[in-house]
Structure 1
Amino acid sequence: MTSPTGRAPLVSIGVPAYNAERFIAPALESLLSQDMTDLEVVVSDNGSTDGTERIVRDLAARDGRLRYVRQPVNRGGAANFNAVFALRHPGASYFKWAAADDTHDPRYLGQVLEVLRSDPSVSVAHSLTDDIDEDGSHLRSWGDQGLPADDPDVAVRFAALSQRNYQCFSIFGLMRTETLVGTRGLGYYAESDRVLLAELSLRGRFVDVQEELFHRRQHSGRSVRTHPTARDRIAWFNPDLVGRPVFPEWRLGQGYVGALLQAPGLSADDRARCLAQMGRWTVVRGPHLLRNVARTGADVVGGRTPIRHHA
């Protein structure tokens, strides 16, 4: 897909969707209404059984910057996130994911784009976030989470993003396509968005525009509500793991270490300092690692299915 000028779009926005008919129209309209118009929006439908396809095709008929692709089967959330990135226009210089229920202020894209263009040390640019309800009314402001993801020291950034408890808003930030291509993408295991953010922190700083331009919608159908526990969320990230023994904390640790070992451009000292943080991570998460082993062992011995599937 090309931009209205006939060139490749400057920005590609990927929207992974599944049974999203309730909120996908306002979500897409907020993207297509951005002040910065040199963009494409690609929707990857993970086999929806509701009216998602009809809604998106109707919008695409009115705006040539919107493209709809239907996946033949539902392979899980992680696969669809990676699929919509693969579907981007190859000439797009920047990429962002957008959820099928959140909305964006019209100024969002122009402001975060300016952050990336003006500072090569930044790998992810986003804005402050607030929560809205099902009708779009304001619920709460998140403000600054106190996460030093903008610190110039890579070890400080990596430690924060691998060890602190935080809201993963930045996974929906704007990134340089070449930076994201150099990562391993979203892993096919629960909480892999945290690993990807930590991996991106090894490549640059995270900077938020200090205005609430990103509106996260709270509703009963959000994946974190329909899949409330880490074990439940495995089914959302990767249905192929359903019924198999899984060790979510171990997979998470392996993801962080793998990101560190494969990150390009790190000095030996920086890599060593980041790896030392994983030693601290292992100590802090030790009880969780042991519980993973104990619980999976009990499931296997008792003949129980280790995780439940949620379609």
Structure 2
Amino acid sequence: MTVPPRVSIGVPVYNGERYLAETLRSLTALSGPAIEIVISDNGSTDTTEEICRSAAAVDERIQYHRSAVNRGAAWNYNRVLALARAPLFKWAAADDLCETDFVARCVDVLDAGGPATVLAYPQTTLIDETSAVVGTLDDADLDLRARRPSDRLGQLLRHRVEWHPVFGVIRTEVLRRTPGIGAYPSADISLLAELSLYGQFHQVPERLFLRRYHDERSIVAGPSFRQQAAWYDPHVRNRLVLPQARLTRELLAGVGRVPLPATERARSARMVLQRWAFPHWRHIGGEFKLAARDLVAR
């Protein structure tokens, strides 16, 4: 590339032929600052490779990397982050779309907010298999502008629907302080929680993200917790999965990693317990009961 990218867009994909070409057209049409598009193909067995190589041949901003085997979604999401060169980063799922001004508006917000703002994300429109609009999503409660880190975390943990800010534009340097996407279900929640302790989230008041709902989404194609865990990491396919217990532990671990004053760290840990663990205590208790039964059965 002749111009250094301001934003790296990471596209992790596995067998994404159904929507991938449309997604890449959406990304290459983005306005605003210079971008690079980093694709990581996680051992696809369909025509994903051909689609990616054809796109890269006509657009120098596209880099295509391929793994010989499927190492799981967590590995693939973190691989595109590791390959990114720009100071700002965005994940793009291989089935979603972006309006032309998505990146430009998010970068404007990050520039205006300065270092205190670590993430910017737009409002969401929901689309179906044919890209027809089927609804909208209200996630304005994830516009986290409180000065106090624990207040931002507490506000985030009240949210219960979708966690689309993970597909916003994020400061790369801050994102790399975290473990990235963990190899367990709902890892996007713990990642956003940790990012919220580093700085503010600002929502762009325009519907620029087109989130596709279809029957091949991972949570639909693999509805059980074990199937979801295997999507993140194929090596855990036959292991016992305690999703809510694991997520609570990871939320607390994130609080421990971020450099916070002792009083703020304690308040943030209390937010995890009050806003997440306590509201989900029945699920967590049920998971431990299932674990006990599983041990007895073995």
- Using the size of structure 1 for normalisation, the TM-score is 0.91
Q: Aligned with 1:41: secondary structure?
A: strand
The alpha-carbon deviation at position 18 of structure 1 amounts to 0.5
The alpha-carbon deviation at position 163 of structure 1 amounts to 4.5
Asked if structure 2 preserves the Cα contact closer than 8 Å seen for 1:148 and 1:156, the reply is no
Asked if structure 2 preserves the Cα contact closer than 8 Å seen for 1:162 and 1:256, the reply is no
Counterpart CA distance in 1 for 2:135 and 2:145 is 24
Q: What letter matches 1:4 in structure 2?
A: T
The alpha-carbon deviation at position 230 of structure 1 amounts to 3.3
Alignment partner, residue 135 of structure 2: 140
Counterpart CA distance in 2 for 1:148 and 1:87 is 28
Alignment partner, residue 127 of structure 1: 122
Q: Which moved more, 1:202-211 or 1:143-152?
A: 143-152
Q: Which moved more, 1:95-104 or 1:114-123?
A: 114-123
Equivalent residue runs for 1:153-164 within 5 Å:
153-164=148-159
Structure-2 change in CA distance of 1:297 and 1:144 (3 Å): closer
- Which digits, 9 at most, give the CA deviation of each residue in 1:133-184, with x for residues without a partner? 1111111011344345333332222123335313110010101111111111
Alignment partner, residue 63 of structure 1: 59
Alignment partner, residue 190 of structure 2: 195
- Structure 1 unaligned segments of length 5 or more: list them: 304-311
- Using the size of structure 2 for normalisation, the TM-score is 0.94
Alignment partner, residue 90 of structure 2: 96
Q: Which moved more, 1:248-257 or 1:145-154?
A: 145-154
Alignment partner, residue 308 of structure 1: none
| 2:264 pairs with one of 261, 267, 270 | 270
The alpha-carbon deviation at position 277 of structure 1 amounts to 1.5
Equivalent residue runs for 1:1-311 within 5 Å:
3-5=1-3, 8-89=4-85, 92-120=86-114, 121-147=116-142, 149-264=144-259, 266-280=260-274, 281-303=276-298
Q: How large is the RMSD of aligned CA atoms in angstroms?
A: 1.5
Structure-2 change in CA distance of 1:4 and 1:30 (3 Å): farther
- Structure 2 unaligned segments of length 5 or more: list them: none
Give the % identical residues: 38
Asked if structure 2 preserves the Cα contact closer than 8 Å seen for 1:150 and 1:157, the reply is yes
Asked if structure 2 preserves the Cα contact closer than 8 Å seen for 1:162 and 1:195, the reply is no
Asked if structure 1 preserves the Cα contact closer than 8 Å seen for 2:181 and 2:188, the reply is yes
Moved over 6 A (4+): none
The alpha-carbon deviation at position 300 of structure 1 amounts to 3.6
